[in-house]
Amino acid sequence: MANASETGADGARAEHDPAQPDPRPRLQKALAQAGVASRRACEALILGGRVEVNGEVVFEMGSRIDPEADEVRVDGVVVQLDASKRYFVLNKPRGVVSTMRDEQGRPDLREFTDQVEDRLYNVGRLDTDTSGLLVLTNDGDLAHRLAHPRFGVQKTYVAKVRGRVTPAVIQRLKDGVELEDGPIRVDAAKLLPGGTSKSHSLVEVTLHSGRNRIVRRMLAAVGHPVDELVRRRFGPLHLGTLRSGEMRELSGAERGALLSAAEDGEDHAASGITAGRPGDGKGAKGMRGVAARGNPHGRNGER
């Protein structure tokens, strides 16, 4: 049973002069200020053994923490104690380059980030002709970690492809196809109802590869070139009903799920964990984005 007032993030005993006031906040106050719940509710979470500091359960109500050094979790979900860190999701339109400044003068992300005072970084990239979910944050360390291939964050795409896709084609994607840079297979794939016509099909694919234009190359390899592509999910985050060109700040639940995915080095969504509000003891419901049937760009129409 850990005492957060005695140990730091590396497990070493924190140095503090007992003759001087301790400037570190009490655990329940830090949780309340982070938006987890009211002070009283946070006290109940601590007493219930649902709060961990640096991997150990803390029961002591008077425990103090270092918000800059200690990792705090509620029900396994990381709590962001630094209020200066901000996280957004953008529904990137087609034709916009995934960079903060394009040397060729093409539309870039500044159109959306200029409305935020903080300097934002994009987590990974989307091709210019691909639309959908892009994470933006002023947390440069998180952006670097989530974009690194070793984390293998799962992403889900909806593709409008040429031709009628059969179940055999879906199975080929699952079994794997050979590309010029090596074999690759999706984690999941399915035909979406209402998206099939004489000339096109609507396919949803989920994979964790970060290879360049990998979804387009895979679908072309099985005989179905992509006409339109939109990313609907990145790790535990879903695009939902966010319109093309719109940006919104993450909720506390989404922020916790994203931080947990980064800290654990795995995709929590792949493990069945959705973005739950810290303290509710279960994944939040109603956050799952539903692909627009017959049109991956929803209300904005094909472009």
Which positions are annotated as active-site residues? 127
Q: Is 7 exposed, middle or buried (0-12, 13-18, 19+ CB in 10 A)?
A: buried
Compute the distance between CA of residue 114 and CA of residue 74 in angstroms, rounded to an integer. Answer: 34
Sequence-ordered list of residues with C-beta below 8 angstroms from that of 149, at least 6 positions apart, any chain: 210
150-189 in b/e form (b: 16+ CB < 10 A) is: ebbbbbbbbbbbebebeeebbebbeeebeeeeeebebbeb
CB-CB contact of 174 with 189 (8 Å): yes
E strands, the chain, where? 51-53, 56-57, 72-74, 77-78, 87-92, 121-123, 131-137, 155-162, 177-179, 182-184, 188-191, 200-207, 226-234, 237-238, 247-249
